[in-house]
Amino acid sequence: MSLSWPLALLALLVVPLLLLARWWFNRRRKRSAIVVSSVGLIRAAIPGRSAWRRRVPVALFLVGLLLIGFSLTRPQATVSVPADNTSIILAMDASGSMCSTDVEPNRLTAATEAARAFIEQSDDGTRIGLVAFAGIAGLLVPPTTEKDQLLDAIEGLRTSRGTAIGQAILTSIDTIAEYNSDVTETGVDLSAPTGQDGYEPDTIVVLTDGSNTTGVDPITAAEQAAARRLRVFTIGFGTTEPAAMVCTADQVSGDNWRGGGGGFGRWGDDSGLRRVMQIDEETLTQVADTTGGKYFRAEDAGQLTDVLTDLPSEIGLHEAERETTVWFVLFGTLLTFAGVGLSLWWNRGRQLMTR
């Protein structure tokens, strides 16, 4: 919690001043007390009042005054609130390993179907951009609300050699910097703290089935994102079961294609048709933790669809300062009136008993 006007804390001095005034009046009243012949008769005539009945109204009244006085400082709390200008950069792995058939019919098909569901179910006002990466990373669609354009680009993904996760993060940062003036391009050194709290509403989502094999290290790229207050959510996709590498003819580019019968091709390397995928979960987790994001694991198409479609509930929230003055005024007023009301009620009952 922060205070917009900390000097207003001086208003809290009114409470000890009231206590001092109350002590002074009580002392003065004792000095001017009259002398009677029998104190016992007076005590018998006036019903006693328990100590808690005398103190509770005073305590409520004073606590209420403290809250009202504190409200003058205009306190602010850091809360998670929905962003009204959220944009999401979806960086999708298009490496040759996405032809693995451990997820039917293959990883690339399952990933594109999950991405389609994510785009179709996103809010109309949410801007989504698409970055594809294999040995290099490139922007396919800048952030837009045109869902048809995004869906067409998703269908046009082609696999290639290499996995440049770090470069995909840097490309996503530069994409955001194009339209968000608060985000600096990656070529600028931001090693010094920015002095700002919270995160930008723009978010990066990296979907990959392997580990970085080329280009900049993902942790280095994550530090660049963190310096710009950009969160990176990472998703590790696929199983660790060996499976044949099979893609359709329109899912592969020329550098990883080996012709095959029936309109299918196989991603050709010397390791054969079956391999065990090794997702670098440690790095993906560290990337997410460094930037304030979160790492997710999805082993099949259903889990991946669930992860992507549930992401807006986390991505759409960002930390912001919200003034809480009204709550302090409200509770302070309620306590003050409660103290006064209880005092009047109990004194009224006492007066009725003495009549």
Domain 84-315 has CATH 3.90.1170.50: no
Which of 66-80, 214-228, 301-315 reaches the highest mean pLDDT?
214-228
| Per-residue model confidence (pLDDT) at position 8 | 62
| Per-residue model confidence (pLDDT) at position 52 | 60
Give residue limits of the domains in the chain: 2-78+322-354, 84-315
Specify the 3-state DSSP secondary structure of 134: coil
Pairing of strands 202-208, 87-93: parallel
Higher per-residue confidence, 29 vs 224: 224
Render pLDDT for 248-281 as a digit per residue (tens, 0 to 9).
Answer: 888 887 655 443 333 334 444 434 334 445 789 9
Q: What is the DSSP letter of 253?
A: -
Mean predicted confidence (pLDDT) in 94-121: 92
Look over the chain and give the mean of its residue pLDDT values, rounded to a whole number: 78
For residue 121, what are the contacts with CB-CB under 8 A and spacing of at least 6?
309
Residue 92 has pLDDT above 90, yes or no: yes
| Per-residue model confidence (pLDDT) at position 47 | 52
**Quick one: how many helices (H) and strands (E) in the chain?**
10, 14
Region at 74 (left for phi over 0; alpha for psi -120 to 50; beta for the rest): left
Lateral strand order in the sheet of 87-93: 137-144, 127-133, 87-93, 202-208, 231-237, 295-298
Render pLDDT for 153-211 as a digit per residue (tens, 0 to 9).
Answer: 999 999 999 999 999 999 999 999 998 988 999 987 775 444 456 788 899 999 999 89
Closest CA to 231 of 298, 307, 287, 163: 287
Render pLDDT for 21-55 as a digit per residue (tens, 0 to 9).
Answer: 666 776 666 665 555 555 555 455 555 555 666 66
For residue 97, what are the contacts with CB-CB under 8 A and spacing of at least 6?
107, 163, 209, 210, 238, 245, 267, 275, 277
| Per-residue model confidence (pLDDT) at position 272 | 39
